[in-house]
Structure 1
Amino acid sequence: MQPLLFPGDPSFWYETLRTLGHIAYGGADFGEVVTTCERITPGDYGGWHDAWLATADRVAGEARTALEGGHRVSARDGFLRASNYYRAAEFFLHGDPADPRIRHAYDASVACFRHAAALFTPAVEPVEIPYEGTVLPGYLYRADDSGAARPTVVMHNGFDGTVEEMHFFGAAAAAERGYTVLAFDGPGQPGARHHQGLGFRPDWENVVGPVLDHVLTRPEVDRARVALLGVSMGGLLAPRAAAFDHRVAALICLDGVYDLGDITTSGIPLPRAEAERRLRAAHDPELDAMLEEAMAGSPVLRWAMEHGMFAMGVRTPRAFGAAYLDYHLRDGVAEKITCPTLVCAGADDGFFRGQPEQLYEHLTCPKTLLEFTAGQGADAHCQSGAQRLAFARVYDWLDDVLTHRTPAH
């Protein structure tokens, strides 16, 4: 899809498309997005924040007024959009983790989402999932108030998205089809990173394990039919978990990722083994300078490195690149997955092109590769901008897979 806005800035365009895509499940209005973007200069992270914060503040104010007047649907819709706009506001600021604008906008995003969550029928329930002496934040969605055990989707975002954003990236779509949903933030993801200081960890089975322990105690959950869905980098984390925790009845990778080492070494003009050695070295001023120069010349790389340092809890671009090397499904990990697996792939994925196909090739379980094209308007990373189409295809697949499993009693 050709950029409609910010044609010379792929980072700003993708994040705009991402926000536009959330229109499908109530996360934005087209005019609000366009008029906000008209106030932003390409490449200006501060200007991006200011414009989105102003829009979010205005929409949240209107939602509060609607709620005070007893207009619950209008209030819910406004809070939902404001939550997404606050999320967008702080997105590019993580180069300075101490910047107070980050926590202000993030906390406002969560607060607005929770206001919206309480206004759904049934209400979306905030949950805290016990995890290694602390808790992971999440939300439980029920299809209705019957309390009946239903097929369930456990889901999480990826490198930079919030659990609140999962409402638009799969939770609402699953709930309206009759699934119970548990969405959560794991270590490195915003809820756990901002409030508990937890950085990412590659052994994601030790994150999903406690989440499954929690969800399987809920009466709304059919224990035999629990699927796991991961978005973006979650398309590597979720399969890593499913490889070692066979309570997962079906796996959805939106999109699939096989080896982040491919990503972190691709821009270093050295054989991969040498690039890995130098990334992991105690000191390498030459490589440090090369990475800084590359960041200065690439808005996408600059953002990825700055956010990656924040999410991994490391201090230099090279340390982030070294940490990324541990995130892979090589060495027989992908082959350990036994449940039916859906791997999604966008034809023009600007982040992980070719990765879904690598994952698919290594799977030995029942598997499906679901390709999305430019002709469908769905070729972007995680099918942003085509979420109704994407989730129709994803959940039709899941319906068919779980229909053939015997419900738990």
Structure 2
Amino acid sequence: MKQLLFPNNIQFWYETLRSMSHIAYGGADFGEVVSTGERIVEGDYASWYTEWLATADRVSGEAEKALAAGHRVSARDGFLRASNYYRSAEFFLHGHPCDPRHDHAYDRSVACFRAAAALFTPIIEPVEIPYEDTTLPGYLYRVDDSGTPRPTLIMHNGFDGTAEELHFFGAMAGVERGYTVLVFDGPGMPGPRHHEGLVFRPDWENVITPVVDFAETLPDVDDTRIALLGISMGGILAPRAAAFEHRLAALIAVDGLYDLGETSVRNIPGTREETERLLRADSAPELDASLEQIMAKDPIARWAINHGMYVMGVDTPRAFNASYLDYTLAGGIAERIQCPTLVCDAEEDMFFKGQPEQLFDHLTCPKTLMVFTAEEGSGAHCHPGAMRLTQARIYDWLDDTFATPAA
């Protein structure tokens, strides 16, 4: 898709398109996104924060006035958009973890989303899911208040998305189709990372099993029809969990990933074994310098490494790249998945090209590969800009999968 804004910074454009994408389920208005983007200095993280924050503050202020005047629908809609705009505001700030701006914007995003959630019928219920010695934040979406067990989708985001953003990435689409939906933030994701310092872990089954335990306590959940969907980096986390958590009746990877280590080694000369040894070494000054140069030249790498150090809990670009080596489905892990699996692929993915096909080829369970194209407007990573199309195809697959009796 042509870059309508930020012609020289694909990362800024992608994040703008991401906000535009949420128009489909009430998370943005086109004019608000474009007017904000036009005020931003291309490539300037501070400018990005300032302008998105200004838009979010204005929209949330109008929502608060609407609520005070008894205009509940207008208030709900405004709070939803403000939540998304606050999320966008803090997006590029994680290279400085002590920066109070990103905590402020994140907390405002959550507050606005919860204000909107209380105005839905039925309400979108904030939940705390027991996990080790703490809890994971999430939301329960019900079709109605009857307590009827329904097919259920558990959803989580990936490297940088929030549980609140999943409202626009498929939660409401599920409710429209008669699903109970449970969304949550796991370790490394915004809620646990901001407030408890929890970082990502590769053994994601130890995250998903407590979530499935929690889901099975809910009257709205049909225990025999629980699916798991992971977005972006969730496209490797969710399959990893499904390899070991066999209560899941279906798995969806949007988009599928097989080995994050491939992204760590692809620009470093030498064999995979040599490169891994170098990444994990106590000292590698030449590689450290090379990674700094890559960050200076490549806006995608600059953001990904800065954010990656934050969510992995490491202090250097090399340590972040080394951490990715542990996130893999090689060694027979993908082959352990038993439930029907949908692997989504984006024709123009700028982050993980080719990985969905790798995952698909290693699966031995019932499997489907679903390719989204640029011609459809859905060819970017995780398909921003074509949410209605994307959700239709994913849920149609899930409808058909759950309609087929298990073997």
1:225–1:405 Cα contact (<8 Å) kept: no
Match of 1:385 in 2: 385
**Amino acid across the alignment from 1:9:** N
The separation in 1 between residues aligned to 2:8 and 2:356, in whole angstroms, is 27
Secondary structure in structure 2 of the residue aligned to 1:14: helix
1:337–1:363 Cα contact (<8 Å) kept: yes
Secondary structure in structure 1 of the residue aligned to 2:137: strand
Match of 1:76 in 2: 76
The separation in 2 between residues aligned to 1:129 and 1:147, in whole angstroms, is 19
The separation in 1 between residues aligned to 2:26 and 2:272, in whole angstroms, is 43
Aligned-residue offset at 1:271: 2.0
Q: Deviations over 1:312-362 (max 9, x none)?
A: 000000000110000010000000000000000000011111110100000
- Pairing 1:277–2:281 present: no
**197-206 or 397-406, which moves further after superposition?**
397-406
Aligned-residue offset at 1:269: 2.4
Match of 2:258 in 1: 258
- After TM superposition, the score normalised by the length of structure 1 is 0.99
The separation in 1 between residues aligned to 2:282 and 2:165, in whole angstroms, is 37
The separation in 2 between residues aligned to 1:266 and 1:46, in whole angstroms, is 31
Q: Deviations over 1:152-201 (max 9, x none)?
A: 00010000000000111111111111100000000000011001100000
Aligned-residue offset at 1:41: 1.1
Match of 1:5 in 2: 5
Aligned-residue offset at 1:87: 0.2
Match of 1:335 in 2: 335
Match of 2:222 in 1: 222
1:150–1:222 Cα contact (<8 Å) kept: yes
- Pairing 1:397–2:397 present: yes
Q: What aligned pairs does 1:99-118 form with structure 2 within 5 A after superposition?
A: 99-118=99-118
**108-117 or 168-177, which moves further after superposition?**
168-177
- Pairing 1:143–2:153 present: no
The separation in 2 between residues aligned to 1:3 and 1:255, in whole angstroms, is 22
- Pairing 1:48–2:86 present: no
Q: What aligned pairs does 1:5-404 form with structure 2 within 5 A after superposition?
A: 5-404=5-404
1:53–1:89 Cα contact (<8 Å) kept: yes
The separation in 2 between residues aligned to 1:160 and 1:97, in whole angstroms, is 14
1:60–1:82 Cα contact (<8 Å) kept: yes
The separation in 1 between residues aligned to 2:282 and 2:245, in whole angstroms, is 35
The separation in 2 between residues aligned to 1:240 and 1:255, in whole angstroms, is 14
Q: Deviations over 1:204-239 (max 9, x none)?
A: 000001000001100000000000000000000000
**Amino acid across the alignment from 1:375:** E
**Amino acid across the alignment from 2:237:** L
The separation in 1 between residues aligned to 2:139 and 2:114, in whole angstroms, is 9
Q: Deviations over 1:251-282 (max 9, x none)?
A: 00000000001111112122221111100001
The separation in 2 between residues aligned to 1:26 and 1:352, in whole angstroms, is 28
Equivalenced residue count is 406
Aligned-residue offset at 1:405: 3.7
The separation in 2 between residues aligned to 1:273 and 1:3, in whole angstroms, is 38
Aligned-residue offset at 1:4: 1.0
Secondary structure in structure 2 of the residue aligned to 1:240: helix
The separation in 2 between residues aligned to 1:215 and 1:196, in whole angstroms, is 23
1:26–1:77 Cα contact (<8 Å) kept: yes
The separation in 2 between residues aligned to 1:358 and 1:172, in whole angstroms, is 30
1:246–1:339 Cα contact (<8 Å) kept: yes
- After TM superposition, the score normalised by the length of structure 2 is 0.99
The separation in 2 between residues aligned to 1:336 and 1:222, in whole angstroms, is 24
Aligned residues: percent identity? 69
The separation in 2 between residues aligned to 1:175 and 1:352, in whole angstroms, is 30
The separation in 1 between residues aligned to 2:385 and 2:44, in whole angstroms, is 23
**Amino acid across the alignment from 1:68:** A
Secondary structure in structure 2 of the residue aligned to 1:182: strand
Q: Deviations over 1:6-38 (max 9, x none)?
A: 111010000000000000000000000000001
The separation in 2 between residues aligned to 1:50 and 1:272, in whole angstroms, is 42
1:158–1:230 Cα contact (<8 Å) kept: yes
Secondary structure in structure 2 of the residue aligned to 1:375: coil
The separation in 2 between residues aligned to 1:165 and 1:404, in whole angstroms, is 31
**Amino acid across the alignment from 2:327:** Y
The separation in 2 between residues aligned to 1:363 and 1:81, in whole angstroms, is 39
The separation in 2 between residues aligned to 1:120 and 1:41, in whole angstroms, is 37
The separation in 2 between residues aligned to 1:226 and 1:238, in whole angstroms, is 13
The separation in 2 between residues aligned to 1:403 and 1:117, in whole angstroms, is 30
Runs of 4 or more consecutive aligned structure 1 residues displaced over 2 Å after TM superposition: none
Secondary structure in structure 2 of the residue aligned to 1:374: coil
The separation in 2 between residues aligned to 1:354 and 1:114, in whole angstroms, is 38
1:224–1:405 Cα contact (<8 Å) kept: no
**Amino acid across the alignment from 1:4:** L
The separation in 1 between residues aligned to 2:84 and 2:155, in whole angstroms, is 18
